[in-house]
Amino acid sequence: MGRHKGPDPVKVKKIRKALSGAKEGLWAMEVSRKTKISKSTVQRYLTTYMKDEVVEFRSFSELVKVYKLR
């Protein structure tokens, strides 16, 4: 057994739900707090697995980006 390749559908659903309730968008740390998923995992999902679903709304630096659903 082992982990399947690709994104965990449960984590994708949690991230989507957190972002859907935020009209102004959220930064990765806020998504992490709401979903109880680590910040690095949230960041990886937003930039890799969900890049077609989310838009980088504002960027204050390379480290602080605000995301929202398309």
pTM of the model as a whole: 0.85
Residues 6+ apart with CB under 8 A from 33: none
Beta carbons within 8 Å of 10's beta carbon, 6+ residues apart: none
Specify which of 2-6, 47-51, 58-62, 63-67 reaches the highest per-range mean pLDDT.
47-51
Please report the pLDDT score of residue 40 as a whole number.
94
Query: Region 40-66: what's the mean pLDDT?
Result: 86
What structural domains and CATH numbers belong to the chain? 9-69 (1.10.10.10)
In 3D space, the residue among 64, 65, 53, 58 whose CA is nearest the CA of residue 17 turns out to be 53
Res 23 pLDDT > 90: no
Tell me the per-residue pLDDT of 1-11, one tens digit each, with 9 for 90 and over.
667 788 999 99
